[in-house]
Structure 1
Amino acid sequence: MQLIECPYCGPREEVEFHYGGQAHVSYPEDPASLSDEKWAEYLFVRDNTRGPFAERWVHALGCRRWFNAIRDTATYRFHRVYRLDEQKPAMS
């Protein structure tokens, strides 16, 4: 069992959390003007990198708050967690 550090509640077991996708994906400024192809790209196309990756997580069985994390996709190790109102840390 892995512990994930919730920035609001502290370390909790991983079963309390749910993955929410890639972090820092900007919502289109004028979504109504997007073609179907561009809208589908916004909804479904994400980076698929190996190594440190910025992700969104929710503490579903705890405080129910969303937060971001830098997690290594090869080792599953969490390098850093941070609130949504905090700046994205450098990924290394």
Structure 2
Amino acid sequence: MRIDCPLCGSRDRREFYYQGAAVMLARPGPDAGEVAWDNYLHLRDNPAGVTEELWQHDGGCGSWLVVTRDTVSHVISKVEMAADVKRAMQAAS
């Protein structure tokens, strides 16, 4: 699989480190209890289909990227700088 880094161009996925889903999880409060913390740390969706994922180009420029990828076919449809996605989300709210 190849990822098109906006700064470095097309690179092998081994240059990148997968960080997980790009959606922010609601962090439980300190007094939320053991079950809430266990769920937060260990339970994740594992969807088959198009997802947005957070990757870091740690073998290159170090950029954080939001990669839109089909988890069944591994086809990547979009790669954006995470900072740009964050700014767009803040401007929309």
Identify whether the pair has TM-score above 0.5, normalized to the shorter chain.
yes
What is the CA distance between 1:36 and its match in structure 2? 1.2
Residue in structure 1 matched with residue 36 of structure 2 by the alignment = 38
Bigger fraction of residues in helix: 2
Residue in structure 2 matched with residue 12 of structure 1 by the alignment = 11
Percent identity (aligned): 33
Query: For residue 12 of structure 1, what is the amino acid of its counterpart?
Result: R
Runs of 4+ in 1 over 4 A off after TM superposition: none
| Alignment coverage as a number of residue pairs | 86
Partner of 1:34, secondary structure, is coil
What is the CA distance between 1:27 and its match in structure 2? 4.2
Partner of 1:61, secondary structure, is coil
The partner residue of 2:49 within 51, 60, 63 is 51
**Aligned 8 A contact 2:50 2:71 in 1:** yes
Q: CA RMSD in A?
A: 1.8
The partner residue of 1:72 within 70, 73, 84 is 70
TM-score, length basis structure 1: 0.79
What is the CA distance between 1:76 and its match in structure 2? 0.7
Q: What are the ranges of 5 or more consecutive residues in structure 2 without an aligned counterpart? A: none
TM-score, length basis structure 2: 0.79
* Greater mean alpha carbon deviation, residues 69-78 or residues 36-45: 36-45
